Amino acid sequence: MISFLTLTRITKFLDCRPITMKISAGGKDIPKKKVFEARITLIGTDDSVSITDLKSAQNISTRRELKLVKIQDEDAKTRRPVYKLMTNAEYHEEEISKRKQKQQAKENNFIKGNKLLTLSSRIAEHDLMTRIKKIGKLLEKQFEVRVVISGEENETNLNYDKIYSTIEKNLQSNGNLVQKRQKGSSLKFQVLPLRKLSNQKSSNNDSSSNKNDSDGTAA
């Protein structure tokens, strides 16, 4: 009789339990395995670094009305992806920066390599023009030219600016001067070749040819 009552109670108890719950042969609960969220490195708007999970980071971004942006797939040291919380303004600036990087990458695709050219801030005008011609030839061959103008300590910027302006003036038809920067007694910048305009010239020739044909027909 006692065994029957015990069995009845166990049956009722089991009937009332959720179907999804796992039970061992002895009638005990089998604890569910905890599912751990993948950890990430989170950089705050104040550049503070913390370790959390993606869901928590998403909750923070929603609560604070920020953008959660993945800036690195996997950190080489921690093996964790890196995310950053950004304001709308920071996010917009980041997007513009990415577009510029993509554009720069496209421009670099047609560059065959780079050459280094060192000049003295007291170079004679004739020698400078000779060097400029050399840069022009390298640009025609689709090479990037890195120019370093070296001078004396405490030298005024007039010599640097004069040389830079002369180079810029004589190469404006076949090169762009970028990333001008001065450090100590040296002025550095790059000269990038212009894209070849063969397609544009071909298009212009076609337009010119069509115009001539049209003029000939009218005559």
Q: Does some domain include residue 9? A: no
* Predicted local confidence at residue 104, as pLDDT: 72
3-state SS assignment for residue 42: strand
pLDDT number for residue 35: 60
Q: Are residues 100 and 119 in the same domain?
A: no
User: Do both 82 and 127 map to the same domain?
Assistant: no
**What's 93's domain CATH number?**
3.10.20.80
Q: Do 92 and 127 share a structural domain?
A: no
Structure tokens given for 155: 């030298």
Judge whether 148 and 163 are in contact, CB under 8 Å. no
Instruction: Please give the tally of structural domains in the chain.
Output: 2
- C-beta contacts of 157-166 below 8 A and 24+ residues apart: 157/182, 159/121, 159/122, 160/121, 160/187, 163/119, 163/121, 163/123, 163/128, 163/187, 164/189, 166/128, 166/132
Among 106, 135, 159, residue at a domain's last position: 106
Of the candidates 79, 106, 133, which is a domain's last residue? 106
**Positions in the chain whose pLDDT score sits under 70:** 1-36, 105-110, 196-219
Q: What is the pLDDT of residue 153?
A: 75
SS (H, E, C) 108-153: HCCCCEEEEEEEECCCCHHHHHHHHHHHHHHHHCCEEEEEEEECCC
- Domain boundaries, position 176: 113-193
The token duo for 169 is 């003036």
Q: Do the domain assignments include residue 160?
A: yes
90's CB contacts (< 8 A; 6+ apart) are 45, 67
CATH code of the domain in which 143 resides: 3.30.110.10
Residue 75 sits in the same domain as residue 119: no
For residue 128 the two structure tokens come to: 């400078």
